[in-house]
Chain A
Amino acid sequence: MSELNNKFVFVKEDITESEHIAAPKYSYWKSVFKQFFSKKSTIIIILVALTVITLSIVDPMISHYDGISHVNINNPSMKYISPNLQYLFGTNNYGDNLWNVVWIGARNSLGIAGLTTLITITLGVVVGAVWGYSKSMDKWMIEVYNVIANVPFTLVVFVLMYVLGRGFWQLIFAMSVTSWLGTAYFIRTQVMIIRDREYNLASRCLGTSTWNIVKNNILPYLVSIIVTSISRDLPSYISLEVFLAWLGIGVGESTPSLGKTISANRTYMTSTPYLFWIPVAVSAIITVSLYIAGQTLADAADPKTHR
């Protein structure tokens, strides 16, 4: 026995030790980023998305091309130049560099889609969080939702664009005026699932205000859901802009956009195909890269994927 006792040494009592938690350190946002950048394919997609966004912001600043004044319109030698090293995307029927035309269009299209997403997500999350939390509000909102949600979305946009007239802000208004309700409903359902969990009940018993419970206990759970919504909405609004421009009810004459470029160049589909297919390809690259980057971020933001 005494032999055995000699092998052990008494440890000094350390009060601070009891303050440490035995579990490994966990930081939510660190884990999100670690997860996000763990795949090589994701990094490529993100680079593509970032390049596209940067080009659409920077190029219009450098080129000063505004889409309205066609400098080379009286210079036939500048028209219909096929893509080469000097003009990467060639030149169009006005003698404008298609590179500039595409990127200023992409900027406006991204702006429209981005602002619309911002509005619908902000409104949707705020209203949805309160809606899901408050039972008396639910009664009213569900009726409003039932009236509006069943109306075909394109119909709403068509009629509003007709009534308000074509334009940048009109388009944003038309696209966001009813769609935020869909986001709100989506968030409401998620909030309802979390609302009645025990820790929220306890929190309420301790006198935490509704707003604080929503802000601190519920919204953090919604991050991945919100990112999923964004990554779905952003590309769909870009597609919608292309769709509306194709039908001649998108942004006004003075605002260049990807959709308008595609729509205007459709007549060259067989004679000078690059004029049509390059903007189409760019729009596809933008939407696909944004969608996949967003989906990956949403997956990474889901705490369940963190190990």
Chain B
Amino acid sequence: MKKYIGGRIVRAILSIFIVTVIAMTMIYTLIPRKLIFKTDPNYQKVASKTDDRARYMNTAYERLGYITFEEQGDMCKAYAKDNYDACMEADSSYINEIVEEHYSDYTIERYKGTGLVYATKDQPIASIVFNFFKNMIVIDHPYRVNDSSNPDLERKIYWGTDYNGLPALMGSGTEHKYLIYFDSSFPFVHQNIISINLGQSYPSYAYVDIIKVISQGQGSEKSTLQKFETGIESTSAVIQHSCTYKNTKNLDKLDTNKFLDNYAQCDTMKKDPSMIGTSMLFGVLGLLIAYVIAVPCGMLMASYKGKLFDHIGTVWINFMIAVPSLAFIFFGRQIFYLLGFPLAFPTYGAQDVRSYIPAVVVLGLLNTGSLMLWTRRYMLDQASADYVKFARAKGLSQNEIYRKHIMRNAIIPMVHNLPANIILTITGAVLTETVFAIPGTGKLLPDAISEHNNSMIVALTALYTSLSIMSVLLGDILMTLVDPRIKLTDDGGTN
């Protein structure tokens, strides 16, 4: 069994890898790179100035990992440190020599205004892919921070107490100050040692880590009265546990007022839940409604097979499967509107219950069709099994047979989909979220496509594929737990 699951995990990782590589290769080779600037407002500002535009574009390309980009300043700093000023003149002999010697495989161009040189080199697709996977898992360690303005920085990991007086594993020289810490929110123990990096978003949420885009709170800042290391108490939205290293030259008075060391780059607390949080909240509540309605209905349909209830249920199932979900969502929204609910989520915002009810109910009902269909199917499959006939022969009541025999067996195949249903709520319900203007993850991918946010598309492909593959594996394992008769391996029970 362990061997089997190990094999499954290896294959799952391989599948994720293959799918991501295919997606990356297609996106980075088939789509003109320049399109990422199409919807970037900052690009529009520099678009008319040739030099600024070139610098802006190449900087963006370099940050996103498309190219390596060196300007004359970088070249002179690297190869002619002693004669930097002489080197920095336009068309100086130094720079011509450097270019010839070190940048022969680069494309060399000159800024029209200053005449200074810059060099670009395309990253091959293989190295873009390699870097994506290389940077995917980041482990924090005491030698991670490089700050030339703070040479005396201690490099250590130690147990200390955080600003609340609780014990915490802290670091110096690490990216994060608090590596392991405790607080009152679920799951109470948190860590900052291992983090996942899926690249940076661009042009929307420019240069923000994609993981942060989807997992950080949204809306306006929420300030609370906090105590800082320096003893100051002030109302602030800073999340102290998230603080990361800030270079000494960037530290300002506000930072030194609050913090004793360089760890002053902190996330802020927001009023509304994150994209993932929002989508999961809607998704899980919707699922709950779907299961609460569909499972009993499917069971009743099975036990009254061929009767009126079964017919009504079948009409509903056919209706739900066949009607385009868009039509159903709009229909549902209109009905809730007539009942006095808002048309869109932002009307009353995340703090009002009325914003949630229409979307949650619509989402729940959308799922009932196929769920009822399968519940009914599984129940009927069991109802004609031999053990049911035997139970009837023993004289058990119909009710008892359904409750104790059929239902317990019919639930097994339904358990299989449960992890996938719950986990994939993270990916959001694209249509429902679009129609109700819910700030969840659902609209992220379509928006990324219309904005040509390539890195976001790649990251979401990798993320959604991993979630989907892992949840299928989880479903298989859960099924063996619910029903010990099921073996994932076919080696005759010798495992």
Contact = CB atoms under 8 A, between A and B. Distances in A.
Interface stretch (B124-132, B170-178, B427-435): B427-435
Interface in A105-163: 143, 146-147, 150-152, 154-155, 158-163
Interface stretch (A54-62, A215-223, A244-252): A244-252
Nearest to B452: A162
Chain B CB count within 10 A is highest, among A155, A235, A290, for A155
Interface in B321-340: 321-327, 330
B327 A280 contact: yes
A91 interface: no
B431 A243 contact: yes
A104 interface: no
A200 interface: no
Given A161-B449, A246-B434, A291-B322, A151 B465 contact: yes
Contact of A146 (B15, B321, B323, B325): B15
Given A158-B445, A247-B434, A150 B323 contact: no
Contacts of B460: 155
Nearest to A292: B318
Contact of B324 (A158, A249, A269, A283): A283
B324 A155 contact: no
B321 A291 contact: yes
B127 to A, nearest CB: 20
Contacts of B296: none
Interface in B373-399: none
A276 B23 CA distance: 35
Contacts of A290: 322
Interface in A165-203: none
Contacts of B431: 243, 246
Given A147-B18, A155-B465, A162-B449, A280 B318 contact: no
A152 B424 CA distance: 10
Given A243-B324, A247-B434, A155 B464 contact: yes
A297 interface: no
By size class, the interface of chain A is 35 or more
Given A146-B11, A288-B319, A283 B327 contact: yes
B445 A284 contact: no
A122 B38 CA distance: 40
A49 B27 CA distance: 40
A262 B326 contact: yes
A290 to B, nearest CB: 8
A248 B461 contact: no
Contact of B446 (A164, A249, A276): A249
A24 B23 CA distance: 59
Contact of A287 (B11, B14, B324): B324
Given A147-B18, A151-B468, A239 B318 contact: no
B450 interface: yes
Contact of A150 (B322, B326, B472): B472
Interface string A271-285: 000001000110110
Interface in A224-276: 232, 235, 238-239, 242-243, 246-249, 262, 269, 276
Contacts of A243: 324-326, 430-431
B206 interface: no
Interface residues of B, number: 37
B232 interface: no
B136 interface: no
Contacts of A154: 430
B19 interface: yes
Contacts of A93: none
A287 to B, nearest CB: 5
B347 to A, nearest CB: 14
B196 interface: no
A245 to B, nearest CB: 9
A154 B445 CA distance: 10
Contacts of B11: 143, 146
B293 interface: no
Nearest to B31: A163
A300 to B, nearest CB: 16
Contacts of B465: 150-152, 155
Contacts of A281: 327
Contacts of B472: 150
Contacts of B19: 147, 151
Interface string B467-489: 01100100000000000000000
B26 A163 contact: yes
A159 B26 contact: yes
B461 A159 contact: yes
A295 interface: yes
Given A163-B27, A280-B330, A292 B15 contact: no
B30 interface: yes
Interface string A5-45: 00000000000000000000000000000000000000000
Interface of B: 11, 14-15, 18-19, 23, 26-27, 30-31, 318-319, 321-327, 330, 424, 427, 430-431, 434, 445-446, 449-450, 457, 460-461, 464-465, 468-469, 472
3 closest residue pairs by CB, A with B: A291-B322, A239-B324, A247-B446
Given A242-B324, A283-B324, 12 more contacts: A143-B11, A147-B15, A151-B15, A151-B465, A151-B468, A151-B469, A161-B449, A162-B457, A235-B322, A239-B325, A247-B446, A291-B318
6 contacts: A162-B31, A162-B449, A235-B322, A239-B326, A242-B324, A243-B324
